[in-house]
A and B are shown apart, each in its own frame.
Chain A
């Protein structure tokens, strides 16, 4: 198993550009999520999905869209990039989508810079 994979590893955007961060997992996990990590702060939840076709907002959803058309993939779209979105983005997945969330396993991260 590859686990949780993310592409790209690094990305530089100009303000106003759009892009999609890719996330995939091959563990048949129900739950997938996106976090951002800013210096001196912990991870903050952007969006999450409890299964294919179902998504919901986390703590900091503004400026981001997600979709979950398959169990394996959970892309994160930046609609119009802003410098405030400069961050490291982590995708995570867990086997179950119970409440509370089961143990999450993280991808390697995408370092995004918006100029």
Chain B
């Protein structure tokens, strides 16, 4: 069975701090995708990144970076120099062999000015 665990329910930081959101996944598939989505207070779901299971190269996009480690089944997300606009719920998700995308419960990030 596929499962995604986001152990951090809520995180609160002060603006300009760095913050890492953890994501641990379980799957028996050898081919899978991992995703991060952002859900701001307005409620929509915004796609942030997709990572193929065969590509463990870390990725950086502006203040965002992702660390994919198959050895620990983790796909962690770091925001550098956080801003108030980063306040949102962040979801990690896993898609495997059966067209079934599984989401973690989400981490609510609050960035205080």
Question: In the complex, what residues of B have CB within 8 A of residue A50's CB?
Answer: 99
Is there contact, CB below 8 Å, between B104 and A42? yes
**Cα distance A45–B99 in the bound complex, in angstroms:** 10
Known: A42-B104, A42-B105, A43-B103. A100 touches B95 (CB 8 A): yes
- Tell me the minimal C-beta distance from A86 to chain B in angstroms: 16
Are A100 and B44 within 8 A (Cβ)?
A: no
Whole-angstrom distance from the CB of B39 to the nearest CB of chain A? Answer: 9
In the complex, what residues of B have CB within 8 A of residue A78's CB?
none
Q: Are B105 and A100 in contact (CB under 8 A)?
A: no
Contacts of B41 in A (CB 8 A): none
Question: Which A residues, 60 to 115, have Cβ-Cβ distances below 8 Å to chain B?
Answer: 88, 90, 92, 97, 99-106, 108-109
Q: Given A56-B99, A99-B98, A99-B99, does the pair A108, B44 have CB atoms closer than 8 Å? A: yes
**Interface size in chain A (residues, C-beta < 8 A):** 28
Interface residues on B, range: 20 to 34
Residues of B within 8 A of A59 (CB): 100, 102
B4 within 8 A of A: yes
Contact A109 B104 (CB under 8 A): no
A interface vs B, CB < 8 Å? 31, 33, 35, 40-45, 48, 50, 56, 58-59, 88, 90, 92, 97, 99-106, 108-109
Give 18 A-B contacts (CB < 8 Å), ordered by A residue: A40-B105, A41-B106, A42-B4, A42-B6, A42-B102, A42-B104, A43-B103, A59-B100, A59-B102, A99-B96, A99-B98, A99-B99, A100-B29, A100-B96, A100-B99, A100-B101, A101-B33, A102-B33
